[in-house]
Structure 1
Amino acid sequence: MTSFSARRARLCQRMAPGAVAILPTAPEVSRNSDSDYPYRHDSCFYYLTGFTEPGSVLVLVAAHGSAPAQAVLFCRQKNAEREVWDGFRHGPDGAKAAFGFDAAFPIDELDTEMARLLANAPATYHALGHSAALDLQMKTWLGSVRRQARSGVTAPTVAHDLLALLDEMRLFKDDGEQALMLRAATISGQAHARAMRASRAGMFEYEIEAELLHEFRRNGAQFPAYTPIVAAGANACVLHYTVNNAQSRDGDLILIDAGCELDSYAADITRTYPVNGRFTEPQKILYELVLAAQAAALEQVRPGTIYTAIHDAAVRVLAQGMLDTGLLAKQKFGSVDDVIAERAYQQFYMHGTGHWLGLDVHDTGAYRDVHAEGKPSRALQPGMVLTVEPGIYVRPAQGVPEQFWHIGIRVEDDVLVTAAGHAILSEAAPKTVAAIEQTMRRAP
């Protein structure tokens, strides 16, 4: 409770005095006529409340003069009958006591109370343009306040984007978040190791996926953080492959991009390994190249380094490797600088080398310093968590050595920026050729 209330207080301090912020949680979504998709709350709402029930709205009022800041929750009423069917509800009184709000009301009273809370407020904060329903509600609430003008009540005249403040706050993980993310990455790494041990030529991708999901859940993770990618052979050259229904063949590589969600925090790990437990020489050559690219990128993860330096370091190693292996012809490209200048490497490496990680898999936070002239790449700072994930994907093409065709490799780790440099959170997932082959020699 302390961390959530502290975050609310920090946000209120960044708001204009007396301003009002409105943040609803995510709605429930119907899956079919008789069931909903498994409910997952809004990440920003959870970041400020720790409250996971649907049908809820958080309202913050910043301090103004002698009036202190307020945190007000609107949520579902207690309902004994519905709790028999759907489970426990805190109700307004229970939520106020358990989560440290200054006040709590039934969600049915939201319209009435908002007219009161917005009266004489100078400004509002909400996620501008992100929800047509909320935009319409804001219009209704402001109309209610404006109708009180004859009695001297004024309506807010300025609207700010709440996410501009929250995104920057969420970019820096506190000690509790870092511990959760380490645990999520450890569970996910163990799941990757389990999948390696279980893999045999002839298994279907979904059988391997089942090993991942089993390990996630048996260790307390509530969900996969995203739809797992389990790609055998040529499927690994499809970046967002999620069908996971093909049968592996002896000699295939398996690319797994999967991580769990633990207490709302995501892990995101990719490993690539031979389904039969032994890399072929062409596979090993490209795998070691990707590992070298990741090592070069990881060397850049330290305070003060600009974010784009991570990608640039990986690209330089990959580009040199593409020339050395013949993926790119030296006769056409005289140097690594030529490969980079002409972006020729994008034939085999077409994505970025990472992203922020946290409550969302692709977490919030700007990648550029939007306040500086030219919006340069921002410098890394302690508390940031990001992925580092170079790869190489070789589709059949004229001039490309056939021994490398249909090989797709990505290696991805979750990395915390520390005062001294960085810490890899996902070390539980075997990564080197030797570690992978040793892991796969063990019985499941």
Structure 2
Amino acid sequence: MSIPALDISPFAARRQRLLDAMRARGGGIAILPTAREVARNRDSEFPFRFDSDFFYLTGFPEPEAWLVLIAGREDRSLLFCRGKNLEREIWEGYRIGPEAAAEQFGFDQALPVDTLADELPKLIADQPALFVPMGSDRLFDRRLRIWLDKVRAMGRAGATAPACTYDLRAMLAEMRLVKDASELDTMRRAAAISAGAHARAMRAARPGMHEYEIEAELLHEFRRHGSQAVAYNSIVATGHNACVLHYRAGDAELKDGHLLLIDAGCELDGYASDITRTFPVNGRFSGPQRALYEIVLEAQKAATAKTHPGARWNDGHDAAVRVLAQGMLDEGLLTGTLDGVLESQQYTRFYMHRTGHWLGMDVHDVGDYREPGPAAADESRPWRLLRPGMVLTIEPGIYVRPAADVPERFWDIGIRIEDDAVVTESGCELITRGVPVAADEIEALMRG
């Protein structure tokens, strides 16, 4: 996987932040591998995608790489990576190699990865603490036990093993929750590419096409603008398929009078985008389709208004649910009072997911949704306070499956509207509005 030339300063700054956090816990050594290559079949692998935490700290794109950070009297950053191998490079492409890696990516030292087994016990010895991704990979856990056994075997020579272990993933999740300027720039570019792909799909869609043809339009637009991959498997769902939340693009035919729900986003330089739009295959919403669409759009507006510094994570969801529930009552999908529907959660029959999630290097990005710290004895931890630089999705929906007690005019209508929101100093910025969201604007685009 090739990554464009990167400014290494953000990666160096993140490593320093982590070293400072390690020092606050008494110092020690952090060990973090990138992802492993995975066989697809007998003689090929799935496209390699680096581990998000590893790339967040290094910017290094190749497999078989390890990051080691030492927080002590003098901080040290080391990279273990594949050595140069001219024969393998003929088959597999250019390798950066240790010498170039140290210079290009700003490490104090880079070593061949085949020296890892010999070097790690020496580096671990006499460190006060280990900072590792605890329990995330069995192979890593086995190798770590071997290295620690070697350190303990050096006890007669005066070496000691670390006395405590910290979960590196949890520390990095807190760091990654608030994006820096370089991350936000990449995410805005990814959002623009994905918005263009959704607009392309709207212009291309027509009765008689198939879901996979629309998926191809999305993929074409992603790649031709430099995106390296999809951020997740694209959802392209027409008719009743739109009521399946994680439906994959299949071979269903787009039919006149049906809606098409597309939930798709590209990954650019390691960062995800995530957009959902729902639109009529024939270019014009029917009365029932538009009625439910407007409810979902108003719910998104309500959630967006609650997305600002100082608001709680759950405030946007609560606001969206209130609008959705009232809309369901108004249209006869539910009966009773608004307070009764909210208290009984009857609305979950037609809206069964939450209104958003963190977004970043992973489409469902890391970060706790509640404030850190122990819960009070009589209540759970409060929902997370939003801060500038956090990025989240806002994605309400309504999904109506056929049932005897449901008005037939709404059967098989599935609608979701999703945008990516950056929390700013004064509110939030929807960075995915390069594709229309208002019903009239969607119809105009499809006519054009």
Sort the TM-score into its range (normalised by shorter chain): over 0.9
Aligned-partner Cα distance in 1 for 2:146–2:129: 16
For the 8 Å contact 2:421–2:431, the answer to whether it is kept is: yes
- Select which of 211, 219, 225 maps to 1:205: 211
- Select which of 346, 362, 371 maps to 1:369: 371
SS of the residue corresponding to residue 88 of structure 1 reads coil
> What is the one-letter code of the residue matched to 2:68?
V
SS of the residue corresponding to residue 245 of structure 1 reads coil
Match of 2:14 in 1: 7
Taking the TM superposition and a 5 Å limit, the aligned residue runs for 1:105-184 are: 105-184=111-190
Match of 2:348 in 1: 346
> What is the one-letter code of the residue matched to 1:361?
V
Aligned-partner Cα distance in 1 for 2:57–2:372: 24
Aligned-partner Cα distance in 2 for 1:370–1:245: 45
TM-fit CA distance, 1:370: 2.7
CA deviation string 1:147-171 (max 9, x = no partner) = 1111111110101100111001111
Identity %: 57
Aligned-partner Cα distance in 1 for 2:227–2:326: 40
For the 8 Å contact 2:370–2:383, the answer to whether it is kept is: yes
Match of 2:360 in 1: 358
TM-fit CA distance, 1:60: 0.6
Taking the TM superposition and a 5 Å limit, the aligned residue runs for 1:401-420 are: 401-420=407-426
Match of 2:33 in 1: 24
Aligned-partner Cα distance in 1 for 2:242–2:293: 13
- Select which of 399, 405, 408 maps to 2:405: 399
> What is the one-letter code of the residue matched to 1:378?
R
- Deviation >3 Å, runs of 4+: none
CA deviation string 1:217-256 (max 9, x = no partner) = 1111111111100000100000000042111110010000
CA deviation string 1:293-337 (max 9, x = no partner) = 0000000000000001111000000000010000012xxx2x211
Aligned-partner Cα distance in 2 for 1:204–1:38: 26
Report the number of matched residues. Answer: 435
Structure 2: runs of 5+ lacking an equivalent = 1-7
Aligned-partner Cα distance in 1 for 2:184–2:338: 38
Q: Does 1:240 align with 2:249?
A: no
SS of the residue corresponding to residue 165 of structure 1 reads helix
Match of 1:215 in 2: 221
SS of the residue corresponding to residue 77 of structure 2 reads strand
RMSD: 0.8
Aligned-partner Cα distance in 1 for 2:188–2:441: 21
Q: Does 1:385 align with 2:394?
A: no
Q: Does 1:264 align with 2:273?
A: no
CA deviation string 1:390-437 (max 9, x = no partner) = 000000112111000000000000000000111000011110011100
For the 8 Å contact 2:67–2:77, the answer to whether it is kept is: yes
Moved more, 264-273 or 237-246: 237-246
Match of 1:303 in 2: 309
Aligned-partner Cα distance in 2 for 1:269–1:29: 28
Aligned-partner Cα distance in 1 for 2:372–2:96: 41
> What is the one-letter code of the residue matched to 1:358?
G
- Select which of 45, 49, 57 maps to 1:40: 49
> What is the one-letter code of the residue matched to 2:196?
Q
Aligned-partner Cα distance in 1 for 2:249–2:273: 21
Moved more, 28-37 or 366-375: 366-375
> What is the one-letter code of the residue matched to 2:175?
M
Match of 1:290 in 2: 296
Match of 2:3 in 1: none
SS of the residue corresponding to residue 279 of structure 1 reads coil
Normalising by structure 1, report the TM-score.
0.97
Match of 1:422 in 2: 428
SS of the residue corresponding to residue 111 of structure 2 reads strand
Aligned-partner Cα distance in 2 for 1:363–1:46: 14
- Select which of 21, 43, 53 maps to 2:62: 53
- Select which of 76, 85, 91 maps to 1:79: 85
Aligned-partner Cα distance in 2 for 1:59–1:17: 17
Aligned-partner Cα distance in 1 for 2:160–2:39: 40
> What is the one-letter code of the residue matched to 2:107?
F
Aligned-partner Cα distance in 1 for 2:373–2:404: 46
TM-fit CA distance, 1:111: 1.2
For the 8 Å contact 2:215–2:249, the answer to whether it is kept is: no
Normalising by structure 2, report the TM-score.
0.96
Structure 1: runs of 5+ lacking an equivalent = none
> What is the one-letter code of the residue matched to 1:363?
D
- Select which of 322, 337, 340 maps to 2:339: 337
